[in-house]
């Protein structure tokens, strides 16, 4: 009896603590304009990461469709650097809705079928996230981004205490190949002092992990897909490779030979082929622009090809911003990729594959996956990097290179090392895999969370 009473009071107490200690209630979205009826809860709003300089990061959180209290918490980050995880990730890739005209339509392959999905606009200056002190934007780098992301996560967990002990995964794509490992490393370090992050795994899609291996895989990818001739391939691998071109370009010291080689490559590949999916002929600018920085020559070409953007229209509606508890600070429009941020672009050259290695050593399982039609960060570079890392760590193959299935079709290929480091391709997928192959991506995500190898049969 006494025990029952105790538990009753304990229950009451924790109920009130939750009510009072958090303003999570005020971040609850009652309904997004044009959305269909759903059973899960959504939240969005700001977490201040720097009181002194008034820096606040904006998040959108979609609880799991069913049984959220039994499902993990997953943070998703898009890349750029400087592009929005809300606009690209949530509303174009793996979130519950996609804008269509005035309405939102359900995404049948939303990742919130498997997890509680948290999307963060980072660093400040991206999307609805802001710094009132605009001098912050003048030079932002990987270190600052990772630090702010860590503060965000700690404070977000304080606001949503029921998620504090929940299994936590960090996922992302493209330049998030920097953001995610760097954040995860800070979390692992923080945990040695005070264990507050229940980090269970990391998944990275078409990530930038090692500048020269990733960027120089482009030549062979172009050549083997028929986008460039044999002679141009020779130039692009001997006279000037892509990593050298990008390095020179961002240092403002483009050599004549690199300028010549790149103009020939660009002429042959044609601007009417989508570099993020060489088989795709449509253009969705919100999905594509996160990688513009990874392909600097194409910046001016791309804009004309992409006319309309549902996400840009939707997120710029006043009623939508009100429903999201979002505001524009220091910018006139919400844009997919930041127009105010000056990111240290040469941070591209910082290798993060070694950070991935240290995460694995700390016991955090990692999945590197690749949409196999992407020429920007091709699967071949990622596969080499994973294989090399496995060798360095002395990890033996536990699942030999083989196909995996989604439904009755091959979803891609996979290999697993030491049960902690996995590689997988997604067949027919672009740089933004959940956008172009949503079913296969959801299968991959589900299996990743389960900790098991991808299905070998159907
Ligand atoms: C790319 O070019 C740089 C500079 O010429 C060179 O150091 C590097 O080895 C090249 N990488 C590849 C993969 O060819």
| Average pLDDT score, the chain | 90
Pocket of ligand 1 (CB under 6 A): 212, 216, 237, 241, 243-244
Q: Specify the pairing of strand 130-131 against strand 55-62.
A: antiparallel
pTM check: above 0.85: yes
- The neighbouring-strand residues paired with 366 are 202, 421
Whether 282 has a pLDDT exceeding 90, the answer reads: no
Which mutation among 219, 239, 243, 262 tests ligand 1's pocket best, with the greatest number of atoms within 8 A of CB? Answer: 243
* Least trusted range by pLDDT, from 148-152, 189-193, 237-241, 288-292: 288-292
pLDDT of 309-320, one tens digit each? 888 999 999 999
Q: Would you place residue 1 in the very low, low, confident or very high pLDDT band (cuts 50, 70, 90)? A: very low
- Cα 218 from Cα 328, distance rounded (Å): 37
Q: How far is CA 447 from CA 304, 371, 440, 442, in A?
A: 39, 16, 11, 9
pLDDT of 151-183, one tens digit each? 999 999 999 999 999 999 999 999 999 999 999
- Cα 130 from Cα 362, distance rounded (Å): 33
pLDDT for 293 equals 60
Closest CA to 434 of 448, 420, 422, 419: 448
**What angle (nearest 5°) sits at the alpha carbon of residue 214, between those of residues 115 and 355?**
60
Q: Would you place residue 345 in the very low, low, confident or very high pLDDT band (cuts 50, 70, 90)? A: very high
Q: Would you place residue 403 in the very low, low, confident or very high pLDDT band (cuts 50, 70, 90)? A: very high
Active site members: 174, 374, 431
Whether 278 has a pLDDT exceeding 70, the answer reads: yes
- Cα 204 from Cα 181, distance rounded (Å): 9
> Between helices 230-238 and 211-224, what is the axis angle to 10°?
170
Cα-to-centroid distance, 246 and ligand 1 (Å): 12
Cα-to-centroid distance, 214 and ligand 1 (Å): 12
SS3 of residue 397 by DSSP: strand
Residues 232/239, Cβ–Cβ less than 8 Å: no
Cα-to-centroid distance, 244 and ligand 1 (Å): 7
Share above pLDDT 90 across residues of the chain, in percent, rounded to a whole number: 83
Phi, psi of 421 (to 5 degrees): -120, 120
Q: What is the DSSP string of 217-252?
A: HHHHHHHHTTSS-HHHHHHHHHT--HHHHHHHHHHT
- Cα 402 from Cα 400, distance rounded (Å): 6
Which mutation among 235, 241, 380 tests ligand 1's pocket best, with the greatest number of atoms within 8 A of CB? Answer: 241
């Amino acid at each position: 009896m006494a025990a029952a009473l105790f538990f009753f009071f304990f229950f009451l107490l924790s109920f009130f603590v939750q009510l009072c200690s958090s303003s999570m209630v005020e971040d609850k979205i009652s309904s997004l304009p044009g959305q269909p009826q759903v059973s899960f809860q959504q939240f969005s709003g700001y977490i201040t990461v720097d009181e002194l300089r008034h820096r606040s990061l904006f998040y959108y959180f979609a609880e799991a469709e069913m049984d959220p209290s039994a499902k993990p918490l997953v943070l998703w980050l898009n890349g750029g650097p400087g592009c929005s995880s809300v606009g690209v990730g949530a509303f174009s890739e793996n979130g519950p809705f996609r804008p269509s005209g005035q309405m939102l339509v359900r995404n049948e392959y939303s990742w919130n079928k498997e997890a509680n999905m948290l999307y963060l606009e980072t660093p400040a200056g991206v999307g609805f996230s802001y710094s009132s002190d605009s001098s912050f934007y003048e030079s932002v780098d990987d270190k600052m981004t990772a630090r702010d992301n860590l503060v965000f996560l700690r404070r977000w967990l304080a606001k949503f205490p029921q998620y504090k002990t929940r299994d936590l995964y960090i996922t992302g794509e493209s330049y998030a190949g920097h953001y995610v490992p760097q954040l995860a490393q800070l979390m692992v370090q923080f945990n040695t002092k005070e264990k507050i992050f229940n980090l269970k795994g990391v998944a990275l899609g078409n990530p930038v992990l090692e500048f020269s291996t990733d960027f120089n895989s482009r030549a062979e990818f172009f050549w083997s897909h028929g986008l460039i001739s044999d002679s141009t391939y020779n130039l692009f691998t001997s006279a000037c490779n892509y990593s050298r071109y990008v390095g020179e370009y961002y240092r403002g010291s483009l050599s004549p030979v690199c300028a010549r080689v790149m103009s020939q490559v660009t002429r042959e590949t044609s601007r009417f082929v989508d570099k993020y999916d060489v088989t795709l002929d449509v253009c969705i600018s919100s999905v594509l622009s996160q990688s513009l920085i990874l392909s600097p020559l194409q910046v001016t070409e791309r804009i004309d090809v992409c006319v309309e953007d549902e996400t840009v229209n939707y997120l710029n509606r006043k009623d939508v911003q009100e429903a999201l508890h979002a505001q524009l600070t220091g910018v006139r429009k919400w844009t997919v990729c930041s127009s105010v941020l000056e990111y240290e672009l040469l941070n591209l050259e910082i290798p993060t594959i070694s950070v991935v290695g240290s995460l694995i050593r700390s016991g955090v399982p990692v999945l590197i996956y690749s949409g196999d039609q992407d020429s920007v960060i091709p699967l071949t570079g990622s596969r080499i990097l994973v294989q090399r890392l496995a060798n360095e760590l002395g990890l033996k193959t536990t699942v030999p290179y083989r196909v995996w299935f989604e439904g009755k079709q091959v979803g891609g290929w996979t290999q697993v090392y030491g049960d902690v480091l996995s590689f997988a391709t997604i067949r027919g997928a672009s740089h933004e895999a959940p956008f172009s192959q949503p079913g296969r991506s959801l299968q991959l995500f589900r299996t990743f969370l389960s900790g098991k190898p991808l299905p070998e049969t159907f």
